[in-house]
Amino acid sequence: MAARVLQQCVRSLARPSLRLCSGNPAVRAAAAPAVAIHRPLSFAADSRRTRWLGQSRVSVVGVLCRQYGDLPPLTLETIKDRVMYVLKLYDKINPEKLQTSSHFMKDLGLDSLDQVEIIMAMEDEFGFEIPDAEAEKLMTPEEIVQYIADKKDVYE
Amino acid sequence: MAISRIPPAALSLKQFLQRQRVLGIYRNMLRTIRQVPDEADRKYLADWARAEFKRNKDATNQDAIRMMITQANNHLEELQKSLALARS
């Protein structure tokens, strides 16, 4: 009974995302048999897994579909670009001398108050709070990128 | 007598703790200023806080630093109270 309810959930989730897709008939044909195949498989133990499989099958096929209520995924490259962009906007940093390995205090001549401001700017940019104890250890852009990648589970 | 390996510019424990406290106050102030609704006010307050902290950056007298920390805390509490009133 529960399995049938879950199948209906998968089907109802699959249908709106297919409608929003660019309407490629091959896409629809590929997704529909995928859902149909999973129907006989879903019993109590497997139901949750096939629901996940059904959703992931649809999302892989419909890459052009919109992502609901979530930001685009972070990669190390995008994190690095955003960090460097924020640093270049900071008025006390000379953009030509800035590299990922430049130490704030030793290479760029900033002091601890400036470092606090930089970390606050990073918090604003990425939307999550960095606690004091960990913030004072971040002294180069490379370390900041590593820390954000750790916190946001970005691997490569 | 063993030669001390601590570099001469290192801070004592009390100075180190005080430094951490000052940085913590600066951080809390910036976070509170972030909540101010008006953009121009926010910039003015942030610049004021920055100037105040930088002006007293080189103070070495422990008591003077302690007084300044108390003053900063008072300012911070005032700001937080005003924000709470403005929001209600």
Domains of chain A by residue range: 76-152
Which residues of A are catalytically annotated? 111
Closest by CA position to A138, among listed B32, A114, B17, A153:
A114
pLDDT at A2: 67
Q: Which of residues 48-67 of B touch A (CB under 8 A)?
A: 50, 53-54, 57
What is the pLDDT tens value at each position of chain B, 88 positions in all? 556 677 766 778 888 888 888 889 999 999 999 888 889 989 999 899 989 888 888 888 888 889 999 999 999 999 999 999 988 8
Q: Per 3-state DSSP, what percentage of chain B is helix, strand, and coil (rounded to 5)?
A: 75, 0, 25
Residue of B nearest to A129 (CA): B31
Chain A residues in contact with B19 by the CB 8 A cut-off are 112
Token pair listed for B32: 């509170």
Long-range contacts of A88-91 (CB under 8 A, 24+ apart): A90/A117, A90/A118, A90/A121
Task: Please tell me the class of the A76-152 domain.
Answer: mainly alpha
pTM for the full predicted model: 0.64
Query: Are the C-beta atoms of A59 and A65 separated by less than 8 Å?
Result: yes
Test the B interface: residue of A112, A122, A124, A130 with most B CBs within 10 Å: A112
